[in-house]
Amino acid sequence: MIPKNQFASGIVHFTLLSEDGNPIAERLSYAQNPVDQLEVNTNLNQEVYAARDRVKLDLGVRDHNGTQINGTASISVFDDNLRKYKKDGIDITSHL
């Protein structure tokens, strides 16, 4: 048996094979490994911005050990009133 913490977070595809290697059954499952959880911290230089204001954003990401993670980020900004989904909406991890 493979411990659940050996799987990376995401969709896992399981296939049960016969002795001669033919697939007998397949299942998809979603694994959520706490080790993959990142801590994301943001810091803005002011509370409210007007249209076309320059924004300074400090973004910090750390892993479960507190080690800084380096990478590239893409950010989208939009009017909060135009959002069509709930902040506390249902997603794949809310069903685990």
For residues 17-45, average pLDDT? 92
Contact (Cβ atoms closer than 8 angstroms) between residue 8 and residue 18: no
Q: Is there a domain that residue 84 lies in?
A: no
Q: Is there a domain that residue 88 lies in?
A: no
Q: Which residues contact 59 (CB under 8 A, 6 or more apart)?
A: 40, 41, 42, 73
Q: What is the pLDDT of residues 33-89, one digit of tens each?
A: 888 888 999 999 999 889 889 999 999 999 989 999 998 988 887 777 777 766 666
Q: What is the pLDDT of residues 4-16, one digit of tens each?
A: 888 988 899 999 9
For residues 24-31, average pLDDT? 94
Q: Is there a domain that residue 45 lies in?
A: yes
The number of residues making up the chain comes to 96
The number of distinct structural domains making up the chain is 1
pTM above 0.75, yes or no: no
pLDDT at 58: 92
**pLDDT bracket for residue 2 (50, 70, 90):** confident
CA distance 87 to 46: 23
Q: Which residues contact 29 (CB under 8 A, 6 or more apart)?
A: 11, 12, 14
CA distance 36 to 40: 12
For 24, the domain range is 4-72
Q: Is there a domain that residue 79 lies in?
A: no
Tell me which H or E stretch contains 41: strand 39-44
